[in-house]
Amino acid sequence: MQGVRKKGVVCLAICLVAGFVIFANRVAESRRLDAIIDAANESIEGRDFAAASAHLNEYLAARPKDIPIRLLAAQTARRNRDFDIARKHLRIYQDLDGPKEPRARERQLLLAQEDGGAEVVDLLESCLSATPPEDVDLACEVAIEQMLNFLDSSVRAGMSILEGPRGKARDRTELAIQLWFQRRPGQADQVQGLIWRANLNQWVNLASTHSDYRRALEIDPNHFKARTSLAMSLMNYDAREATQHLELLHQRVPSDQHVSIQLAISRRNIGEFQGAILLLDEVLLRTPDEPNALLERGKAALDLDRPAEAERFLRQALDRAPNDPFVHLALSRCLLLSGKESQGRHHEQRYTELSSEQLRAGERQAEAQREMRKKMELGLGPPGT
Output the pLDDT for position 157: 75
The CATH superfamily label for domain 235-356 reads: Tetratricopeptide repeat domain (1.25.40.10)
Closest CA relative to residue 109, chosen from 153, 146, 148 = 146
Output the pLDDT for position 377: 47
pLDDT per position as a tens digit, 329-342: 999 999 999 999 99
Confidence of residue 383 (pLDDT cuts 50, 70, 90): very low
Mean pLDDT confidence for 214-239: 95
Tell me the CB-side half-sphere exposure of residue 225, using CA atoms within 13 A.
Answer: 13
Q: How far is CA 335 from CA 43, 117, 291, 350, in A?
A: 53, 45, 19, 14
267 pLDDT above the threshold of 80: yes
3-state SS track over the chain: CHHHHHHHHHHHHHHHHHHHHHHHHHHHHHHHHHHHHHHHHHHHHCCCHHHHHHHHHHHHHHCCCCHHHHHHHHHHHHHCCCHHHHHHHHHHHHHCCCCHHHHHHHHHHHHHHHHCCCHHHHHHHHHHCCCCCCCHHHHHHHHHHHHHHHHHHHHHCCCCCCCHHHHHHHHHHHHHHHHHHHHCCCHHHHHHHHHHHHHHHCCCCHHHHHHHHHHHHHHCCCCHHHHHHHHHHHCCCCHHHHHHHHHHHHHHCCCCHHHHHHHHHHHHHCCCHHHHHHHHHHHHHHCCCCHHHHHHHHHHHHHCCCHHHHHHHHHHHHHHCCCCHHHHHHHHHHHHHCCCHHHHHHHHHHHHHHHHHHHHHHHHHHHHCHHHHHHHHHHCCCCCC
375 pLDDT above the threshold of 70: no
Domain residue ranges of the chain, discontinuous segments joined by +: 50-115, 235-356
Confidence of residue 382 (pLDDT cuts 50, 70, 90): very low
Q: Structure pTM?
A: 0.81
Output the pLDDT for position 365: 58
| Least trusted range by pLDDT, from 62-71, 113-122, 264-273, 374-383 | 374-383
d(CA 295, CA 262): 12
pLDDT per position as a tens digit, 173-206: 999 999 999 999 999 999 999 999 999 999 889 9
Output the pLDDT for position 358: 76
pLDDT cut 70: percent of the chain above it? 87
Confidence of residue 384 (pLDDT cuts 50, 70, 90): very low
Output the pLDDT for position 373: 47
Confidence of residue 116 (pLDDT cuts 50, 70, 90): confident
Pair 223, 233: CB distance under 8 Å = no
pLDDT per position as a tens digit, 351-371: 999 888 877 765 565 555 555
d(CA 315, CA 23): 70
Greater model confidence, 336 or 9: 336
